[in-house]
Structure formats: C-alpha cells, structure tokens
C-alpha cells in the first residue's frame, strides 16, 4: 500500500489513513493528554508523512514508521509550545487514553485512565505501545531511541505501578 | 471527531502533490553510499598535499591503519545518523553518545600517539621554498591553512552528502545532519592527518579538530534547514 502511495496513488493514502489514523490519534491523545491538540497533531502527522513519503523504505513496517513520525511531531510541538508543564500537570482533564485489556479486571475504565495518567510518561508510553497497540519491544525501542530491554523494563515497571495505583483507588473506594 | 475520516483540507494538500517519489535507501545503504565520495575526497587531499615525509617513522599502522579505522568510524557515524532520522528506526541514545565520544577519543588519542612517535613540526609542503619558510616561522598561518582547508573539504562532502540524501532526514534532521557532518569531518581528517606535516597537539587538535567541529555544525544547520523547509512547506 505504501509503495502504491509512493507511486502517486491517492487511494492508497486514503487507505493508509483509514487504517492508521484511529490508533495514531489515540497514541497522540495519550502523549498530549488533550484531544483537541491530538486532532491537530494527527493532521500534522499525516501531513509530515506525506512530505516525508520519500524517506520510507519498503523494508520497514509501516505502522512503527508512522507512529515514530507521530511521536516526533508531538515532541516538536511540545518543544515549540513549551507545553510540557501544562500537559502533565493538568491531570484533572483526563485524556481519551486507551484502557489496557490486561488492566480491565483491576478497576473501572475511569480508574485505569487515571492510573495511566499518573504513571511517569517514560513508563506509560512503552506500556501502552506494547499492550494497547501491540508493538514489539524492538519496534518500541526504535520509536523511542532506547534499547529493547529498556522498553521491556519500562513497560513492566509501568504495569506494576499501574497495579499499585489501581489497588490504592480500590482501597480508597472501599 | 471521527479520526478515520480523512479531513478535506488534508486530502486537498495530498491530492495537489502526488508526484511519484523514489524510496529512500536503508540506513546501511545510505552509509555505504558515502564511502566512494569520502574516499574520493580523501584521495584528492592526499594527492594534492602528498603524504607526510615521516611516514616511515610512524609506520603503516599509525598512518594507514589508524586512518582506515577512523574512516570506518566516520561511516559508522553516518549510519547512526541515518538511523536517527528514520521514524521508528532510532538506535538507543547511549549508542549515539558512545559513538560521539569514541570519535572524539580516537582523534585525541591518534594525535597524541602520532606526536609521541614523531614530534614533527617542520612544515615541508610541495610549495615554493619562500612559502615553506613563511609557514615555518608563523605556525598560525599553517594552523589557519589546515583548518580552512579541511573545513572546506569536509564542508563540500557534507553539503553534497546531505543534499543527495536530504529525503532520508525525516525525523530529528538536526541530529541526523550533525552526525552526517561528524562522519564527513572524520573521513576528511583521516586523510588530512597523514598529509599534514605538523604533529604538535595544539595544531592537530586546534586546526584539524576545529574543522571537524565546523563540519558537525554545518551538517546540523543543513539538517535543520531541510527539517524546517519540510515543516513549513505550503
């Protein structure tokens, strides 16, 4: 599909967008902790994908390539707007973050979202990329510029911290 | 907002520019394609200046061997740079730092080792004797000549290389460009160090080292320019 797109097919671009946009949007929503920014970043990601389509090599998998691009778009946006403090301090406005299937039995959807929002971003990102979007740790390592072992360790620590957070929510509720 | 639905504005932008593009090569191929250009530039330097006349004292290991190792490291830096600029293809950042530290250490260690083996400080070049005398009495001129010469050679290489593979700089173009620049600077230095007739560390590190730093900065600026151009393209 990507090869057809590089060859100049608009239909191929539409197919790629339809397949990847929902997942990329949720990923950006998690990173940006705000759905309005996520929509803008989603458009920017696909615009950058279009402008960088020559940089794609058919030997790569398309999904990690596009998610990697989305991450870069988010980081550039954050640097430009210096929104880090705003993004991670405004935890009252919980993002439209995904709910991990593994964590569903541990708490309500709202509690899981809250738990993920309280995780350190370095842990939450690999945790979601692996458990929610199904990326391998090697692919996550390529997106984040870390080793596969570090990606695995961060995701694992994130899951452990999420469990602790969910337990504390349950105790508070009881 | 239904994120699966392609927005009209985005669709219009994409539809307006759908000319076919050639896929970028993989990072390893990008790095390997630099080899002939870098070899050509290095050979041109050696042919123009000629090998230093204490090559026999230094021996093949400290001349050709060390320069070959430095050249391989230069190509490795380009490979890392190409990876950094590939979305989803980044290497662990420790590897990037390690490569940058290794490159600096190699240059410093080779400089000190060369000086310890043959502390040559007599500029004898294939130029008229009057100029050789001028270079001998005024080491600053020799320093500037080396610095500007190797910066120009490295600059041309990084300019040509960044232009050829500008489409590969999809993400982190400044980092990618600076690594391309480091690779070009190091490759040129690999030839320059066995051509330059001055061994003193202040000259080798000051003049030759400054040239490597200049190509790193030039590469970063070129990468940044390409990144910004893509970002703000109408």
B116-155: per-residue pLDDT in tens?
A: 998 876 666 666 777 767 777 677 888 888 899 999 999 9
The answer on A109 and A56 residing in a single domain is no
Please state the rounded mean pLDDT for residues A94-105.
Answer: 58
Q: Which residue of A has its CA nearest to B85?
A: A55
User: How many domains does chain A fold into?
Assistant: 2
CA distance B99 to chain A (A): 14
In a domain, B118, yes or no: yes
| Domain that includes residue B91, residue range | 42-231
Same domain, residue pair A103 and A143: yes
Please give the model's pTM, rounded to 2 decimal places: 0.83
Question: Are residues B25 and A144, on separate chains, in Cβ contact within 8 Å?
Answer: no
Check residue A63 and give its pLDDT: 92
**b/e code B80-93 from CB counts within 10 Å (16+ = b):** bbbbbbbbbbbbbe
Question: Which CATH number do you get for residue A28?
Answer: 1.10.1740.10
For residues A151-174, give the mean pLDDT: 83
Assess whether pLDDT exceeds 60 at residue A159: yes
DSSP type of residue A101:
G
Comparing CA positions, the residue from B114, B105, B123 lying closest to residue B212 is B105
Domain end, chosen from A40, A63, A93, is at A93
Predicted confidence (pLDDT) at residue A1 exceeds the cutoff of 50:
yes
Question: H or E segment at B164?
Answer: helix B139-164
Q: Which of A43-52, A164-173, B20-29 bottoms out in mean pLDDT, i.e. has the lowest?
A: A164-173
pLDDT for A174 equals: 67
Whether A107 and A66 map to the same domain: the answer is: no
Closest CA relative to residue A97, chosen from A35, A167, A21: A35
Pick the residue with more confidence: A19 or B49? A19
Lookup: tokens for A57: 């090599």
Does residue B167 fall inside a structural domain? yes
Q: Which residues of A touch B96 (CB under 8 A)?
A: 145
Same domain, A150 and A123: yes
My answer on whether A88 and A124 are in the same domain is: no
Q: Is residue B30 included in any domain, yes or no? A: no
| Backbone phi and psi for residue A82, each to the nearest 5 degrees, phi listed first | 50, 55
Of A56, A73, A93, the domain-final residue: A93
> What would the mean pLDDT of B26-54 be, rounded to a whole number?
89
Check CB contact of B3 with chain A, cutoff 8 Å: yes
Same-domain pairing of A118 and A50 = no
Q: Please determine, for the modelled complex, whether the ipTM score is greater than 0.85.
A: no
What's the pLDDT score for residue B123? Answer: 64
CATH number for the domain spanning A160: value is 1.10.10.10
Same domain, A81 and A106: no
Q: Is A86 found in the same domain as A5?
A: yes
Asked if residue B28 belongs to a domain, the reply is no
Placement of tokens 């390592």 in the chain: A141
Helices (DSSP H) in A33-147: which residue ranges?
A: 35-51, 62-81, 84-89, 109-118, 121-131, 137-144
CA distances from B208 to A10, A17, B88 (A): 50, 49, 35
Q: Structurally, how many domains does chain B consist of?
A: 1
Measured between CA atoms, the residue of chain B closest to residue A52 is B170
Domain that holds residue A84: 1-93
The answer as to whether B3 is a domain residue is no
Please tell me whether residues A127 and A83 are part of one structural domain.
Answer: no
Select from A40, A71, A93 the last residue of a domain.
A93
Average pLDDT of A27-44?
83
Question: Rounded to whole angstroms, what are the CA distances from B40 to A49, A109, B37, B180, B214?
Answer: 35, 62, 5, 17, 20
The pLDDT, as a whole number, for residue A106 is: 66
| Range of lowest pLDDT (B82-86, B129-133, B137-141, B218-222) | B129-133
Contact between residue B205 and residue B107 where contact means Cβ atoms under 8 Å apart: yes
Check CB contact of B136 with chain A, cutoff 8 Å: no
**Is residue A90's pLDDT more than 50?**
no
Averaged pLDDT score across all residues of chain B: 87
């Amino acid at each position: 599909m990507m090869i057809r797109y590089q060859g100049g097919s608009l239909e191929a671009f539409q197919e790629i967008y339809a397949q990847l946009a929902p997942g990329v949007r949720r990923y950006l929503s998690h990173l940006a902790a705000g759905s309005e920014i996520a929509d803008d970043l989603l458009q920017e990601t696909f615009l950058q994908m279009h402008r960088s389509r020559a940089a794609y090599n058919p030997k790569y998998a398309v999904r990690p390539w596009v998610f990697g691009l989305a991450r870069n778009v988010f980081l550039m946006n954050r640097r430009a707007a210096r929104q880090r403090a705003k993004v991670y301090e405004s935890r009252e406005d919980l993002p439209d973050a995904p709910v991990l299937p593994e964590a569903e039995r541990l708490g309500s959807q709202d509690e899981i979202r809250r738990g993920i929002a309280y995780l350190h971003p370095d842990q939450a990102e690999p945790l979601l990329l692996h458990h929610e979007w199904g990326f391998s740790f090697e692919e996550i390592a390529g997106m984040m510029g870390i080793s596969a072992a570090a990606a695995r360790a961060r995701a694992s620590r994130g899951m452990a911290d999420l469990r602790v957070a969910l337990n504390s929510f349950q105790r508070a509720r009881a | 907002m239904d994120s699966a639905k392609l927005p009209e504005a985005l669709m219009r932008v994409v539809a307006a520019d759908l000319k076919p593009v050639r896929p970028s090569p993989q990072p390893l191929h990008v790095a390997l394609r630099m080899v002939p250009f870098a070899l050509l530039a290095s050979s041109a330097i050696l042919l123009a200046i000629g090998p230093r006349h204490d090559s026999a004292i230094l021996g093949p290991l400290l001349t050709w061997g060390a320069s070959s190792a430095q050249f391989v490291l230069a190509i490795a830096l380009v490979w890392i740079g190409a990876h950094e600029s590939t979305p989803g293809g980044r290497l662990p950042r420790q590897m990037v730092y390690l490569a940058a530290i290794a490159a600096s250490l190699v240059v410093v260690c080779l400089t000190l080792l060369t000086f310890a083996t043959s502390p040559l400080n007599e500029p004898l070049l294939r130029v008229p004797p009057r100029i050789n005398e001028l270079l001998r009495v005024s080491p600053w001129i020799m320093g500037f000549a080396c610095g500007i010469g190797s910066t120009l050679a490295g600059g041309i290489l990084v300019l040509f290389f960044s232009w050829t593979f500008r489409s590969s700089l999809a993400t982190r173009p400044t980092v990618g460009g600076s690594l391309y620049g480091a690779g070009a600077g190091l490759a040129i230095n690999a030839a320059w160090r066995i051509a330059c007739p001055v061994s003193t560390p202040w000259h080798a590190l000051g003049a030759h080292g400054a040239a490597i730093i200049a190509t790193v900065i030039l590469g970063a600026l070129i990468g940044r320019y390409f990144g910004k151009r893509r970002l703000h393209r109408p």
